Chains A and B, each alone.
Chain A
Amino acid sequence: MLSYEKYMNLLHYPDQWSQPVPREISRKVICNALSPCISVQSTDALNQHLEEVFKIGSLYKLLRYFGDYIQDRDQLDDKISAKLQPNNRRQRQNSLFQRNSSRYIRFQTPLTDIISVGDNHQVEFNDLEESLSEFLKDIEEHTVNDSPCELLKHSIFHKFITMLSSTTLSPYHSFNHPILALLALDITQGEEYELARELLMEFKNLPNTLSKFPAFINTNDVLPVFILCFDQSSPQQWETVQSLMKVIKKQLFVESVPLPIFTNFRDRSIVLHPPITNSLQEQLYDSSHPVSLKLCPRLVKLIYDTINSMVEDLMIPFMNRKISFWDETILQPRKSIFHSNKLLKRFISKSSGSPTASMPTSPDGHFLASSNEFLLRKLADWCFMLSDYKTAYSIYEILIRDFENYPLYMSSCQEFSALSLLMGAHSIVTAKMIKNDIDPLIMKYLDYAVNNIISLDQIRCMIYMTELFLSLSDTWTSAPFAIKYLEVILQKENLKLGPVCRNLIWERISFAYRLRIDPRIHADDDSTSDCDHDLEEELYLNPHKLHCGKIQNQGFTRYRKEAVFQLLAAKKWLQCGQTRQGAWSLKRCNRVYRDLPFANAEGTLLSRLADAVVDSENSQRAN
């Protein structure tokens, strides 16, 4: 079964390469990239203990293996799951085949680390290009020209999208801001209440102790949770954990979660697959620090259970509480008669000058975490993360008006407003809606974002939008818009995208053309056979007469367009030395050009590219 993890790490699962492209995969990738963040902080003693036992340097590194779509439990295969839960008749869920909202989470390093790294961790275009080239080289080594490439191509593109992501804290949105802060203690090393109190105080005092602490982060909006790591086989430790949980709850008003990570289950260990990378930083880190983590299945199950209960019982209720609090205290007053009355508003703005003049901002021009504007933004982002796209959209709309004088904040709201509209109204988006509401919104955003030099983060958003357009049911209507946005990205010179990134976008344009199929297309050939029958009865056959069956589907597809863009991509792939990608692109365009003498004649672009692929294959064999 193709799970989200297998799809994202498809290269390591050759048996899955011929699977069909999962439906709505783009939405799943976006859900994952914009999922809640959980920061993980562990004590030095715990890190050392983890290093000794599992050869892994910190709890964050260990928990990363269990991130992403938590209900999938993809580190355990079906056999092991059935063995561990013999009475549980329910099948494992699979994120790629279910339509309801999914629970994705991302683990991140402690807040102090993220802040200290700051903007230095910003992904550069060159890093992206290099990593993609490395990734494609890896693919080239593991595949041949004849390998099934359909799903692999999609997986590569979605990998590219995740590489565009970054874990840097942004002042303009709160998607990378942690919602849960895990503070881990090692009970086996005698770490107890005093240390827990110290850790919590340290965490709460971060704004005062860290000189670079950003004004747009509020530790009160992050839920601290203690993770108590212990050995389940020791009754003494179990008792200590129980009492410590009670004390922490009573004295510090913080929840704790027991994690029997140091229990020796005496089972045969399984090798965990590498974690799915959610950003280029993670990708770079993983490639430079390859770790092979082995854990026994029972422990894996326990870790999944712990994470699941932490998310379901602590994080989501916390988010819902905060959302309703912000809704009552900030959003509802905004929707009052006074606020919605344009006349009163005009009167107020005339008498008190610009309303934005008094907006609470930090010296560097960013809104403070406690400001109503940023809290509203956070409210919208959290609604988005919890799949309440309708509320998120309405708040982004309010914020777009509020941020008129703050273009960076406004453009971020515009992009997420369009994203929430596409994510939420997925099944009911009509051509009229796209033309009148979504497209103007995106074009306004593109005009701003492209002309004012932008980061990879914003390119990522543009690509998200195109992906969402392509995942709409009426692709005949939506594909041209996706193509338009991709062409904007390609045509703008100030977006310093490298050749590999550009080629991936060329290929995506080709894919968009492939999806452009008129819903009136006739899939069956009944009419064709009838016409052929009639034709046979005619006395004087005209071989040039048009066949009904051929006529009725003419103009309903854009396969020729798809082919020309694939050809272009093939040429560009070969120019930058990516023979495998070039060969796969040629394979795709050959479906259209195969029987056309003009395309296959000697000296044409197609035949030259095909020769180049054969030459390169021969030289590789010779080596």
Chain B
Amino acid sequence: MPPFYFAIIGHKDTPIYEAEFTSLQQSFPPNLKELNPFILHASLDIIEDLQWQTTSSNSSTYNNSNTISGNSTSFLRSRHSHSGVYGPGNCYLSKVDHFYGLVITAYITYGNMKFVLIHGNNNSSAVSSVDDNVVKNFYQEVHELYIKTSMNPFYEVDRPITSPIFDSKVKALAKKYLTK
């Protein structure tokens, strides 16, 4: 299975949780590994663009910088439209960006926390494929975990999540959905 790099980005672009889901056979090459946080940070430009879009027009040309992902949806539009493909209340933005064969998917919570995942690829020349249903399920379950964490009275929003339980649960979810 390809490697993954996951981060929860708080307000002011600060990552509050980061994890890498790799298998023994596949992991990010060192030169890419050091670049992952920056690639992820760069994709926030597109996520914000999608986040505040209210119309579907021009989404294919305006969303993404140079690539055009056909099936990405916008956060506001999906929340206000009840007839959309993804239905109401969808926080999953699907593919939002790419970076030389890596695909980036994103999910936004109602509290404006951004969950971002970099999908590595097995073959350096090919672009990673993304199974939207699986990735969406992963995000939704991590969202649930995040809500539980944020309900902890000792946790402050935007502070790094250092709980080993949270970490192990996220990794278990990754194993269940992504690196199975």
Give residues of chain B (1-56) contacting chain A, Cβ–Cβ below 8 Å: 11, 13-15, 34-35, 37-39, 41-53
Known: A596-B14, A597-B14, A604-B34. Is A555-B49 also a contact (CB below 8 A)?
yes
- A312 contacts chain B at the CB level, 8 A cutoff: no
Known: A555-B51, A564-B38. Is A477-B61 also a contact (CB below 8 A)?
yes
Do the beta carbons of A544 and B11 come within 8 Å of each other? yes
Q: B13 — which chain A residues lie within 8 A by C-beta? A: 560, 596, 598
Known: A563-B42, A599-B41. Is A558-B65 also a contact (CB below 8 A)?
yes
Do the beta carbons of A561 and B157 come within 8 Å of each other? no
Q: Binary interface profile of B, 41-80, with partner A (CB < 8 Å = 1, else 0)? A: 1111111111111000000011011100000000000000
Do the beta carbons of B52 and A554 come within 8 Å of each other? yes
- B167 contacts chain A at the CB level, 8 A cutoff: no
- A43 contacts chain B at the CB level, 8 A cutoff: no
C-alpha gap A558/B66 in the complex (Å) = 11
Do the beta carbons of A568 and B158 come within 8 Å of each other? no
Q: A559 — which chain B residues lie within 8 A by C-beta? A: 45
C-alpha gap A431/B35 in the complex (Å) = 33
Known: A557-B45, A559-B45. Is A599-B52 also a contact (CB below 8 A)?
no
Closest Cβ of chain B to A115, distance in Å, is 43
- B137 contacts chain A at the CB level, 8 A cutoff: no
A484 interface neighbour in B41, B51, B66, Cβ under 8 Å: B66
C-alpha gap A125/B50 in the complex (Å) = 42
Closest Cβ of chain A to B57, distance in Å, is 12
CB nearest neighbor in B for A490: B100
Q: A604 — which chain B residues lie within 8 A by C-beta? A: 34, 37
- A556 contacts chain B at the CB level, 8 A cutoff: yes
C-alpha gap A563/B39 in the complex (Å) = 10
The main secondary structure of chain B at its interface with chain A is helix
Counting chain B residues whose Cβ lies within 8 A of the other chain, the interface size class is 20 to 34
C-alpha gap A491/B98 in the complex (Å) = 14
Q: A598 — which chain B residues lie within 8 A by C-beta? A: 13-15, 37, 41
Closest Cβ of chain B to A98, distance in Å, is 33
Q: Binary interface profile of B, 69-108, with partner A (CB < 8 Å = 1, else 0)? A: 0000000000000000000000000000000100000000
Q: A597 — which chain B residues lie within 8 A by C-beta? A: 14
Q: B157 — which chain A residues lie within 8 A by C-beta? A: 544
- A567 contacts chain B at the CB level, 8 A cutoff: yes
Q: Binary interface profile of A, 114-151, with partner B (CB < 8 Å = 1, else 0)? A: 00000000000000000000000000000000000000
C-alpha gap A597/B13 in the complex (Å) = 9
Do the beta carbons of A599 and B50 come within 8 Å of each other? no
Do the beta carbons of B65 and A513 come within 8 Å of each other? yes
- A551 contacts chain B at the CB level, 8 A cutoff: yes
Do the beta carbons of A558 and B41 come within 8 Å of each other? no
Closest Cβ of chain A to B62, distance in Å, is 8
Known: A554-B51, A561-B65. Is A605-B38 also a contact (CB below 8 A)?
yes
Do the beta carbons of A605 and B35 come within 8 Å of each other? yes
C-alpha gap A177/B14 in the complex (Å) = 58
C-alpha gap A381/B100 in the complex (Å) = 38
C-alpha gap A119/B114 in the complex (Å) = 57
Do the beta carbons of A487 and B66 come within 8 Å of each other? yes
- B133 contacts chain A at the CB level, 8 A cutoff: no
- A96 contacts chain B at the CB level, 8 A cutoff: no
- B129 contacts chain A at the CB level, 8 A cutoff: no
A555 interface neighbour in B34, B39, B52, Cβ under 8 Å: B52
Do the beta carbons of A561 and B42 come within 8 Å of each other? yes
C-alpha gap A563/B13 in the complex (Å) = 14
C-alpha gap A513/B49 in the complex (Å) = 14
Do the beta carbons of A546 and B112 come within 8 Å of each other? yes
Do the beta carbons of B38 and A480 come within 8 Å of each other? no
CB nearest neighbor in A for B7: A598
Q: Apart from A480-B61, A544-B157, A564-B42, what 12 extra A-B contacts exist at CB < 8 Å?
A: A431-B61, A487-B66, A546-B112, A555-B46, A555-B51, A560-B41, A560-B42, A564-B35, A564-B41, A567-B38, A596-B13, A598-B37
